[in-house]
């Protein structure tokens, strides 16, 4: 479930960064249309692909329920971090990108 959570958090952070407000707040610039499209693609793809580790770990019935819980928890963490510690929210996404392959190999 760690891999699913990391992928969900990275996906929500990428979708968050695709907006003008949060991109300017976190990275101090406005996203170009190309970057915005790329961030949306990465965010949507990461959220879609995060179903795979959840289903692989627990089967379709329980895996989808756990995936929904992981979606909610990762979104809740991001929403709670953004107003108070926006840099920490961005740093956790970076750690998630680095720890994702390690978590993938750990589940094999």
What number of other Cβ atoms are within 10 A of residue 99's Cβ? Answer: 16
pTM equals: 0.92
Give how far Cα 50 sits from Cα of 20, 24, 93, Å. Answer: 25, 27, 15
Q: Please return the burial class of 81, using the count of CB atoms within 10 Å of its CB with bins 0-12, 13-18 and 19+.
A: middle
Task: Name the one residue in this structure whose structure tokens are 């929210």.
Answer: 89
Distance of CA 43 to the CA centre of its chain: 7
pLDDT in tens, the chain (108 residues): 899 999 999 999 999 999 999 999 889 999 999 999 999 999 999 999 999 999 998 999 999 999 999 999 999 999 999 999 999 999 999 998 899 888 888 876
> Could you tell me how far CA 19 lies from the centroid of its own chain?
15
Kindly list the domain boundaries of the chain, sorted by start residue: 2-107
């Amino acid at each position: 479930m760690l891999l699913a959570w990391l992928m969900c958090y990275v996906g929500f952070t990428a979708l968050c960064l695709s907006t003008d407000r949060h991109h300017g707040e976190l990275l101090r610039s406005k996203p170009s249309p190309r970057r915005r499209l790329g961030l949306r693609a990465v965010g949507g793809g990461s959220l879609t692909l995060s179903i795979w580790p959840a289903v692989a770990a627990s089967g379709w019935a329980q895996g989808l329920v756990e995936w929904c819980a992981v979606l909610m928890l990762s979104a809740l963490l991001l929403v709670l971090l953004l107003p108070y510690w926006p840099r920490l929210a961005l740093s956790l996404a970076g750690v998630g990108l680095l720890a994702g392959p390690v978590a993938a190999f750990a589940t094999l």
